[in-house]
Amino acid sequence: MDRRDVIALGGSAGAVGALKQLLRELPPDFAATLFVVVHVGALGKNLLAEIFAHHATISVKTAVDGERVLPGSVYVAPADHHLLVIDGVTRLGRGPRENLARPAVDPLFRSVAMTYGPRAIGVVLTGMLNDGAAGLADLKRCGGVTVVQNPADAAAPDMPLGALAATNVDYRAPLADLASLLVELTTEEAGPPVPVPDDIRFEVDIALGRQVDAALMTGIADAVPLSCPACGGVLSQIKNCPPLRFRCQLGHAYTSDILSAENECSVDEAVRVALRIIEERVTLSEKMADDAGRNGLQAAAAANRRRAEEMREHAETLRRAIVGKSLKVPAGEIHAQNLSPAAPDEGEGL
């Protein structure tokens, strides 16, 4: 019987340091294949593999599209591409962002689950928000083993906590114990094959960049009166949960936590725009009042001064709201902003 010999790891804030330690502690004869996704900006220079290689005793490289994977190797997702593994070959997908990120952790976990089933081990490391939670649950559905870094041990506990809430995780361990745990798990025999659900195959296709099939989307999700922050399209609620999550007709995907954080950013921006418009109206009303006064139109001047004072009060109310909000910015909102691309996409793979 096959052994568990494929490991998918994903993380965000604090994950680079965690992976350096983990790779340093794996033995030189470690025979499993590892795939790594860390949230990076769209314009990253793909230096992660080089950084990790300085700390690893096994081969580490940036994943290349179409390359057949080898045991005892680590493949790191490049910037602005989802890393997927299909039939033992690495594929770099330019599908839509998932959870505001490309590469995202969920697509990697799903593709590894689809290709390797019970041979797969999924590991969620430190990070903000909850990318990876849905993918880890899908890996579990395909018979894989699930591992989460202990949230109390994580630099950012959101991703481990999200994964624990989304599925019945098999192992939870501090970073210092993860290497030995993975060595032990890879010596064990994998379970019997498990049929891959159609919805997992469909979502892997989306990450590859294939056109979203509306009929298939209807089969896995129900339309809801919410709009996609990326494209403005209608969102559909994925039926298989937890975690609660959504996709639009172009394929952008969000957990409810990440969608909420992104909407918070949109609301904050809308309030700031409203403040600017009102302050401009105050200035205009004051100038109109001065002009009316110079022309002897005292009633018009008084009316414009009253209007300016009313607008000034509205502006002050908005300003207080903005200041109060800035004093208690949710951590998730900060991370959502960090995940946003440096520049908008053009054409394929919005």
Catalytic residues: 12, 39, 131
- Positions of E strands within the chain: 6-11, 33-38, 59-62, 73-76, 82-86, 89-93, 120-124, 145-149, 171-173, 221-227, 234-238, 245-248, 253-255
**What is the Cα 50 distance to its own chain's centre?**
23
The three-state secondary structure class of 319 is helix
What CA–CA distances, in Å, run from 267 to 1, 270, 272, 319, 322? 54, 5, 9, 14, 11
* 3-state DSSP assignment of residue 221: strand
First to last CA, the chain: 42
Give the whole-angstrom CA distance, residue 250 versus residue 258: 18
Q: Which stretch of DSSP H or E encloses residue 257?
A: helix 256-294
- Closest by CA to 179, choosing from 34, 60, 25, is 25
Residue with tokens 């700031």: 272
**3-class SS at 84?**
strand
